[in-house]
Amino acid sequence: MTFTTRFAPSPTGRLHVGNIRTALHNWMLARKNGGRFLLRIDDTDAERSREEYVEAIRTDLSWLGIDIDGEERQSQRFEVYERAFEALRESGRIYACYETAQELELKRKIQLGRGLPPIYDRAALAMSDDDRAAKEAEGIAPHWRFKLDHAEPIVWEDGVRGPQKFDPAQLSDPVIRRADGSWLYMLPSAVDDCDMGVTNVLRGEDHVSNTAVQIQMFTALIAALYPAQQIPHFAHEALLVGSEGKLSKRLGSLGCDAFRERGIEPEAIVALLARLGTSQPVEPIADRQVLIDTFDLSTFGRAPARFDDAELERLNTALVHHMDFDRIAHRLPEGIDEAGWHAIRPNLAHIDEAAEWWRIVTGPINQPAFPDEDRDYLSLAAQTLSWGDDPWHALTAALKEATGRKGKPLFLPLRQALTGMDHGPDMGELLPLIGEQRARERLEAAAAQ
């Protein structure tokens, strides 16, 4: 079977950083193994799902450079789920239940009060046909549960967590369909994985108990409908936490829109999330293939993965400093050529800061007030300025010879007069961009204060 992973978001909101990490890791896992990466829109919740979020999911994945090999919509697959439902019901793996939400909550409270795990007691299995008929005569529609097989433990070799073992008798038979006929997550997800040939499922550790239940669903579905399919290989990665070391609500709202507004490059997000939570170093790697080639589930740790904004900013800055002009020319202010980009690039943390630094070249600038001795020095500089291949070093060498100045007294007044700032791009690169006429005018203006 073709190695196949999937990302299955619900379009009830925008992707957040945890979703992005899951999508990225599944994409990398597929690409490393020469396989397929599928997008499945889990939109069975008609009330909360929004088409605008579906479009946003596609847009965000594209912006991040995560390409997909196929897309499915659960809302268009109800006939497939119905067929699976009927097959499992005929084989005795699905049964009707008539308890109300209040009755189930009371049962849970009683069990907890007795020190017992709050799992469903399977009372519905003891109902007779007459009992069920009586409930339906009262207008009570059933909800439906998947019947777990208690005969033997549920075991699998997890790609991150290692050997896993669950006692099915300690798990509730999961509700798979509501009384109104709508679907819950568990069964449609397993049906889709079978139907789409998913071979590997990588998701958060909060799904571990779901996996135990779904392994039995896979076994039942394969026996009833999908004899050529195999149970997928599962891996559960640690969840993200904030830099403060605890789960952060902010992580649930931090998405691509927020990153774009801050000027974060997609390469920085990918470089951080690709290795976050692994034993591999987080580095400013722009080459996706390098990240894919080194992606290895065996390097993933069990401890929560800490998402640090400061680390993301550091990566972004490092990547911006190495970006080629041809790649970002269309995002730069008019007038910046390759030499201009090369001059200002080391001073940027975000590309959109280029306009502010470019104003140093184009002007106008705000010069500080200079003391008398510096005004005389700048007047001499205006007279000394000559143009050639390296005007900055020629000017400073001549002024050092003429005045005896060196270090800060030699360089700082010139930078302040020419740029209006105490720091900034290398003046050797910047002065040719300012140009001879503009440079002389600035020096003369500073001297005439």
Beta bridge partners of 164: 156
Q: What is the pLDDT of residues 392-438, one digit of tens each?
A: 999 999 999 999 999 999 999 999 999 999 999 999 999 999 999 99
The whole-number pLDDT of residue 244 equals 74
Look at the alpha carbons of 406, 412, 417, 418 in this order and tell me if their dihedral is positive or negative: positive
- What is the distance between the alpha carbons of residues 35 and 264, in angstroms, rounded to a whole number? 29
Q: pLDDT tens digit string along 312-335?
A: 999 999 999 999 999 999 999 999
- Supply the pLDDT for residue 46: 87
Please report, in range form, the residues annotated as the binding site for ATP: 249
Which helix (H) or strand (E) element contains residue 401?
helix 391-403
* Segment holding 78, helix H or strand E: helix 78-90
Q: Are strands 94-97 and 71-73 parallel, antiparallel or unpaired?
A: unpaired
Q: Torsion angle, CA of 344/350/351/356, rounded to 10 degrees?
A: -60
Determine the Cα–Cα distance for residues 53 and 49; give it in Å rounded to an integer: 8
Pairwise CA distance, residues 159 & 176, whole Å: 27
Is residue 225 within 8 A of residue 28, CB to CB? The reply is: no
**DSSP for residue 67:** -
Given this model, what pLDDT does residue 246 score?
67
Give me the pLDDT at residue 251, please.
81
C-alpha pair distances (Å), 393 with each of 76, 213, 345, 410, 415: 69, 73, 21, 12, 13
Cβ-contact 299, 278 below 8 angstroms: yes
Binding residues: 249
Q: Under DSSP, is residue 384 helix (H, G, I), strand (E, B) or coil?
A: helix
Kindly state whether residue 90 falls inside one of the protein's structural domains. no
How many structural domains is the chain composed of? 1
Residue 287, Cβ density class (10 Å: 0-12 exposed, 13-18 middle, ≥19 buried):
exposed
Identify the three-state secondary structure at position 181.
coil
DSSP reduced 3-state for 202: strand
Which amino acid is residue 50, in one-letter code? Answer: R
CA angle 114, 170, 237 (to 5 degrees): 120
Q: What is the pLDDT of residue 220?
A: 98
Rounded distance between C-alpha atoms, residue 263 and residue 347, angstroms: 15
CA distance 446 to 378: 7
- What is the rounded distance in angstroms from the CA atom of residue 108 to the CA atom of residue 281? 46
Label residue 274 exposed, middle or buried (CB < 10 Å: 0-12, 13-18, 19+). buried
CA 211/CA 90 separation, integer angstroms: 23
CATH of the domain at 390: 1.10.10.350
Do 20 and 64 contact (CB within 8 A), yes or no? yes
What residues make up the domain containing 387? 362-447
In a domain, 181, yes or no: no
For residue 9, the tally of other CB atoms under 10 A from its CB is 23
Q: Is the pTM of this model over 0.85?
A: yes
Separation of alpha carbons 225 and 223, rounded Å: 6
What pLDDT shows up at residue 1? 83
Q: What stretches in the chain show pLDDT beneath 70?
A: 246-249
Give the tens place of pLDDT for each residue, 18-48: 999 999 999 999 999 999 999 999 999 888 9
Task: Tell me, yes or no, whether 229 lies in a domain.
Answer: no
Is 415 among the domain residues? yes
Give the DSSP H or E segment for 315: helix 309-320
- Round to whole Å and give the CA distance between 264 and 315: 9
Residue 375 within a domain: yes
Identify whether 405 is part of a domain: yes
DSSP summary character for residue 416: H
422 in a domain, yes or no? Answer: yes
Torsion from C-alpha of 45, 48, 51, 56, nearest 10 degrees:
-110
